[in-house]
Amino acid sequence: MGSNTLETILVAGATGATGREILRLAQTRVDTVRALTRSPDAAPGLQTAGADEVFVDDLLAPEDLSAAVADVDAVLSAVGTAPTALRSGPPFVDGAGNRTLVSAAADAGVDSFVMESAIGVGSEPASPLATAFNAFIGPIQEAKATAESAIRDARIRHTILRPGILTNGSRTDLVTAAEPGAKLWGTISRADVARLMLSAPVTPAAADRTFEVVSMPRFPSRDADIDWTMPDGQ
Ligand SMILES: NC(=O)c1ccc[n+]([C@@H]2O[C@H](COP(=O)([O-])OP(=O)(O)OC[C@H]3O[C@@H](n4cnc5c(N)ncnc54)[C@H](OP(=O)(O)O)[C@@H]3O)[C@@H](O)[C@H]2O)c1
């Protein structure tokens, strides 16, 4: 793998709204795009969306993740708990699922792990948006915090992105990515998050860092001034 290339990535949560944006972006920039889903029926749709290979497994009860992470340069995790599943209680894929995935990735020698977390996760001071997230999905936020810790402790290069409210708007590339504690609030499109997630493994300044990210409103004075670079095409 060259410094600006990704030969193989695994997208966890590939059927989800952010995951599909990652597939769309990656299909012309990454040689082999693997998608992970719990649903065998999702395979044809994932291939149409840009996946070269589909792996079926459940991160909360995995049968065998070793093949999915074998020879992978970067794992991009956009998994999340559906609001309807919140009532069923932990374990949540946001926590236990991501912890299982980073452990498998580290064991397999994967170079890089990127997690889509959320504003308000972690102990740093955060904006009132974090208070709102905590009020509605507090147990999920707590689960995400355990995954963030496991990722930082794992022997793997990582980037953790904590977006504000996700939208299905178009990609703008006009984002603020700021250090935890920057107290950002606002929205960001899943397409903009996907670009940051795909860029993180080949962006030197993103290594082993966590960012709050929003695109509306922008906070230029709080931006970490990262030159987010997409992987070179095939
Ligand atoms: N909504 C917001 O405003 C907001 C704000 C900040 C952060 N976030 C976070 O951003 C992330 C992405 O959100 P999104 O709305 O784009 O995603 P989404 O559409 O809800 O998709 C979630 C994905 O998680 C996968 N998944 C769930 N349980 C799984 C399990 N046990 N094993 C493997 N995969 C599993 C699902 O895949 P299958 O069903 O195919 O298995 C699905 O593709 C989430 O972590 C969310 O909490 C959301």
pLDDT digits (tens, 9 = 90+) for 95-117: 999 999 999 999 999 999 999 99
Q: Does residue 76 have a pLDDT over 70?
A: yes
Which amino acid is present at 31?
D
Q: Does residue 224 have a pLDDT over 90?
A: yes
Tell me the per-residue pLDDT of 185-216, one tens digit each, with 9 for 90 and over: 999 999 999 999 999 999 999 999 999 999 99
Rounded mean pLDDT of 140-168? 98
Which amino acid is present at 65?
L
> Is the CB of residue 37 below 6 angstroms from any atom belonging to ligand 1?
yes
Cα-to-centroid distance, 14 and ligand 1 (Å): 9
- Average model confidence (pLDDT) for the chain? 97
Tell me the per-residue pLDDT of 128-147, one tens digit each, with 9 for 90 and over: 999 999 999 999 999 999 99
Extents of the domains making up the chain: 6-222
> Is the CB of residue 234 below 6 angstroms from any atom belonging to ligand 1?
no
**% of the chain with per-residue pLDDT over 70:** 99
Which amino acid is present at 72?
V
Domain 6-222 has CATH 3.40.50.880: no
Q: Does residue 77 have a pLDDT over 90?
A: yes
Cα-to-centroid distance, 2 and ligand 1 (Å): 30
**% of the chain with per-residue pLDDT over 90:** 95
Do 189 and 171 form a contact (C-beta atoms < 8 A)?
Answer: yes
Cα-to-centroid distance, 69 and ligand 1 (Å): 19
Rounded mean pLDDT of 168-173? 98
Ligand 1 atom showing the smallest separation from residue 61 Cα: 31
Exposed/middle/buried for 18, CB within 10 Å: 0-12, 13-18, 19+? buried
At 84, is the pLDDT very low, low, confident or very high (cuts 50, 70, 90)? confident
> Is the CB of residue 165 below 6 angstroms from any atom belonging to ligand 1?
yes
Mutate to test the pocket of ligand 1, among 77, 146, 166 (most ligand atoms within 8 A of CB): 166
> Is the CB of residue 148 below 6 angstroms from any atom belonging to ligand 1?
no
Q: Does residue 1 have a pLDDT over 70?
A: no
> Is the CB of residue 141 below 6 angstroms from any atom belonging to ligand 1?
no
Predicted local distance difference test score (pLDDT) of residue 130? 96
> Is the CB of residue 95 below 6 angstroms from any atom belonging to ligand 1?
no
Its pTM stands at 0.98
Can you spell out the DSSP letters for 1-15? --TT-EEEEEEETTT
Which of helix, strand or coil describes residue 44? Answer: helix
At 233, is the pLDDT very low, low, confident or very high (cuts 50, 70, 90)? confident
Question: Could you say which DSSP state residue 216 is in?
Answer: B
At 83, is the pLDDT very low, low, confident or very high (cuts 50, 70, 90)? confident
Can you spell out the DSSP letters for 123-153? SS---HHHHHHHHHHHHHHHHHHHHHHHHHH
Give the residue from 111, 109, 104, 88 showing the smallest Cα distance to 5.
111
Predicted local distance difference test score (pLDDT) of residue 22? 98
